[in-house]
């Protein structure tokens, strides 16, 4: 559990220099001080053991070929600890340890992993920052959503791989623009909307400020003129009476369907919406997509997987990296 009064005296945090660091052996570029959402953190030696307290940072650590010794999930699923869009990573995560969920991390497990870098976000774990900082140098982004590309660079900087991180982000930008250009060449009037079912009173109409909203902007594909939107949240509530507000040339649809009652509620909500007469009046092309890469990932790998799906749907060159 996250409670960990017995951990308050744990050492190994960012105020302790390792013997190598004391001897001036921190490695090229180290010691280095990282500015982040919680202030500054000095990393004495190049990190070798990373704990990612948010799945998006686990993705980023794997992208940057870091040794991911610990990771948190949105919800613990020992049968599927890593999403399919990450590809064949069995070797990279063979010894990685689950440290609980983002909502309830197991701080004792984090301590036992003897990490030399802990990465997370203020929006996730602000309350645990002081404790985590006693375990190892700890770096927090402000959020995991709007800053997902910047977060890759933040982690890259901490790992001594900032140039590589920036190259990976730029490669994503180039691919998004190239695939978007090909899609728009085939369908110049293309617009999109994204509807998600999560078992709530209303569906979610995702905004330009969301992860998928940013991907589509990077591809150059717009929302319909006058479509409901917000810069404050990642979605606008969509009631069954408002279904036509989701109309666009391309209507992407996903559902959050974890095992259990929550997932069943999402499936029931989706069936209710899709059985509504207003749903049949939507004029656009409805495309069912996988919730994990398109919504949950908030990562470079998830963005690439989403772009591949769209390229395949429109029959264009996926421009695979």
Residue 290 included in any domain: yes
Same domain, yes or no: 228 and 301: yes
Same domain, 296 and 201: yes
Cα dihedral sign for 195, 200, 202, 205? negative
Contact predicate 269/275, CB 8 Å: no
Our measurement of the distance from residue 211's CA atom to the centroid of its chain's CA atoms, rounded to an integer in Å, reads 8
Do 92 and 32 share a domain, yes or no? yes
Inter-residue contact 175 to 307 (CB < 8 Å): yes
Number of Cβ atoms within 10 Å of the Cβ of 70? 26
Is residue 139 a part of any domain in this protein? yes
Please indicate, yes or no, whether residues 138 and 196 belong to a single structural domain of this protein: no
Does residue 226 share a domain with residue 107? no
Q: In this structure, are 51 and 93 located in the same domain? A: yes
Q: What distances in angstroms separate CA 25 from CA 18, 45, 119, 155, one per listed residue?
A: 9, 8, 23, 21
119 and 58 assigned to the same domain? yes
d(Cα 317, Cα 178) in Å, to the nearest integer?
9
Residues 236 and 275 in one domain: yes
From 144, 160, 176, the end of a domain falls on 160
Q: Are residues 117 and 206 in the same domain?
A: no
| In a shared domain, residues 155 and 295 | no
How many CB atoms within 10 Å of residue 179?
25
Write out the DSSP string of 82-129.
Answer: S-GGG-S-TTTTTT-EEEEESSSB-HHHHHHTT-SEEEEEHHHHGGGH
Nearest to 85 by CA among 293, 290, 313: 293
Residue where a domain stops, chosen among 160, 195, 222: 160
In a domain, 181, yes or no: no
Phi, psi of 106, deg, nearest 5: -95, 100
Q: What is the pLDDT along the chain (321 residues), one digit of tens a residue?
A: 444 443 444 444 444 434 443 334 566 899 999 999 999 999 999 999 999 999 999 999 999 999 999 999 987 677 788 999 999 999 999 999 999 999 999 999 999 999 999 999 999 999 999 999 999 999 999 999 889 999 999 999 999 999 999 999 999 999 999 999 999 999 999 999 999 999 999 999 999 999 999 999 999 999 999 999 999 999 999 999 999 999 999 999 999 999 899 999 999 999 999 999 999 999 999 999 999 999 999 999 999 999 999 999 999 999 997
Which residue range forms the structural domain that includes residue 148?
A: 5-160
CATH number at residue 82: 3.40.50.1980
Strand pairing of 285-288 and 250-255? Answer: parallel
Same domain, 45 and 107: yes
Is 319 within the bounds of a domain? Answer: no
Q: What is the total residue count of the chain?
A: 321
Domain end residue (candidates: 126, 160, 194): 160
Domain count of the fold of the chain: 2
Residue 237 falls inside a structural domain: yes
**Distance of CA 76 to CAs 66, 67, 106, 118, 216, Å?**
22, 21, 12, 19, 30
What does the DSSP assignment read for 239-257? -GGGGGGG--SEEEEEE--
Instruction: Judge whether 307 lies within some domain.
Output: yes
Q: Do the domain assignments include residue 213?
A: yes
198 and 237 part of one domain: yes
**Chain centroid offset of residue 66 CA:** 17
Q: Which pTM does this prediction carry?
A: 0.91
The sheet carrying 117-121 orders its strands as 97-101, 68-73, 50-52, 117-121, 138-141
For 159-189, the DSSP string reads HT-HHHHHHHHHHHHHHHHHHHHHHHHH-TT
- Residue 167 belongs to some domain of the structure: no
């Amino acid at each position: 559990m996250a409670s960990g009064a017995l951990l308050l005296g744990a050492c190994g945090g960012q105020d302790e220099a390792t013997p190598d660091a004391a001897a001036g052996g921190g490695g090229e570029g180290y010691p280095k001080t990282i500015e982040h959402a919680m202030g500054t953190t000095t990393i004495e030696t190049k990190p070798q053991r990373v704990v990612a307290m948010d799945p998006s940072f686990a993705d980023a650590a794997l992208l940057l070929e870091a040794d991911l010794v610990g990771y948190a999930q949105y919800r613990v699923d020992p049968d599927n600890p890593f999403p399919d869009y990450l590809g064949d990573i069995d070797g990279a995560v063979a010894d990685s340890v689950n440290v609980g969920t983002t909502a309830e991390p197991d701080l004792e497990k984090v301590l036992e992993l003897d990490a030399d870098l802990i990465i997370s976000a203020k929006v996730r774990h602000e309350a645990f920052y002081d404790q985590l900082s006693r375990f190892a140098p700890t770096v927090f982004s402000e959020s995991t959503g709007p800053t997902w590309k910047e977060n890759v660079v933040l982690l890259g900087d901490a790992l001594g791989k900032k140039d590589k991180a920036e190259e990976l982000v730029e490669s994503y930008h180039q691919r998004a623009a190239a695939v978007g250009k090909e899609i728009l060449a085939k369908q110049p009037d293309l617009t999109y909307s994204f509807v998600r079912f999560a078992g709530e009173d209303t569906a979610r109409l995702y905004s330009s400020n969301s992860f998928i909203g940013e991907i589509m902007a990077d591809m150059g594909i717009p929302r319909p003129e006058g479509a409901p939107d917000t810069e404050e949240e990642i979605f606008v509530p969509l009631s069954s009476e408002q279904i036509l507000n989701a109309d666009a040339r391309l209507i992407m649809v996903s559902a959050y369907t974890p095992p259990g009652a929550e997932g069943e509620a999402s499936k029931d909500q989706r069936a209710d919406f899709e059985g509504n007469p207003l749903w049949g009046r939507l004029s656009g092309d409805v495309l069912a997509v996988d919730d994990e890469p398109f919504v949950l990932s908030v990562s470079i790998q998830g963005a690439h997987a989403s772009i591949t799906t769209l390229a395949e749907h429109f029959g264009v060159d996926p421009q695979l990296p």
